[in-house]
Amino acid sequence: MLKEHVIHSCRYLLLPVIRFLLKHGVTWSEFGEMSKDAYVAVARQDHGIQGRPTNNSRVAMLTGLSRREVARVRDRLLDGESGAGSLQGNRISRVLSGWHTDSEFSDDHGQPKDLPATGLTGSFSRLLKRYAGDLPHGAIRKEMQQRGLIEELENDHLRALKRDYVYSNLDPEIVRQMGLALHDHAATLEHNLDEGNAAAPRFEGMADNVRISPKALRTFQDLVQARGFSFLEEVDAWLSKNEIDETKDADARTVRLGVGVYLIHDESEQGLMQ
Residue 221: the pLDDT is 96
How distant, in Å, are the alpha carbons of 27, 80, 186, 215 from that of 180? Answer: 21, 19, 10, 32
Count of CB atoms within 10 A of residue 205's CB? 4
Share of residues in the chain with pLDDT > 70 (%): 92
Q: pLDDT > 90: what percent of the chain?
A: 45
Q: Does position 28 have pLDDT exceeding 90, yes or no?
A: no
Q: Does 45 have pLDDT greater than 80?
A: yes
**Confidence category of residue 170, pLDDT binned at 50, 70, 90:** low
Lowest-pLDDT choice from 56-60, 82-86, 98-102, 215-219: 82-86
pLDDT higher than threshold 90 for residue 259: yes
Please tell me the predicted confidence (pLDDT) of residue 176. Answer: 81
Residue 260: alpha-carbon gap to chain centroid: 20
| pTM greater than 0.75 (yes/no) | no
Three-state secondary structure call for residue 127: helix
The pLDDT-based confidence of 245 (bands split at 50, 70, 90) is confident
pLDDT at 84: 42
For residue 217, pLDDT over 60 is answered with yes
Whether 250 shows a pLDDT value over 90: the answer reads: no
d(CA 189, CA 205): 10
Average pLDDT over all residues of the chain: 86
Instruction: Identify the CA nearest to 10 among candidates 30, 29, 38, 50.
Output: 38
Distances in whole angstroms, Cα of residue 185 to Cα of each of 25, 155, 201, 262 = 25, 55, 13, 11
213 in helix, strand or coil?
coil
Q: What is the mean pLDDT of residues 208-236?
A: 94
